[in-house]
């Protein structure tokens, strides 16, 4: 299993827009990406400008299909002007999972 954790920070006042853009990707994943096993979106409790995703893929090909999708391209068009800093990505091989 391949995982991605992404940490994003919205500019103040743009939190809702960034959150909705991520939720739009999540909806696309649910409808169209059977090899994306999980796609979680979370928003900081203490700092709502911080959003994270945790994504699980069956393999690298599934991750590549997701990252190359129109939904991800659209997300970055929306997100680029409202991000406060770079997106921090951690791509990993899953070591353990609780089911």
pLDDT tens track for 52-88: 999 999 999 999 999 999 999 999 999 999 999 999 9
Q: Are strands 88-93 and 36-43 parallel, antiparallel or unpaired?
A: unpaired
Q: What pTM does this model have?
A: 0.94
Domain ranges of the chain: 2-93
Topology of domain 2-93, CATH: Alpha-Beta Plaits (3.30.70)
| pLDDT value, residue 40 | 98
73-92 burial, b at 16+ Cβ within 10 Å, e below that, comes to eebeebbeebbeeeeeeeee
């Amino acid at each position: 299993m391949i995982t991605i954790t992404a940490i994003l920070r919205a500019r103040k006042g743009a939190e809702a827009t960034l959150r909705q853009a991520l939720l739009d990707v999540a909806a696309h994943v649910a409808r169209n990406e059977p090899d994306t096993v999980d796609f979680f979106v979370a928003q900081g409790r203490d700092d709502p400008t911080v959003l994270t995703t945790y994504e699980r893929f069956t393999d690298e090909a599934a991750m590549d299909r997701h990252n190359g999708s129109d939904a991800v391209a659209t997300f970055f068009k929306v997100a680029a002007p409202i991000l406060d800093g770079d997106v921090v990505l951690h791509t990993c091989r899953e070591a353990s999972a609780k089911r």
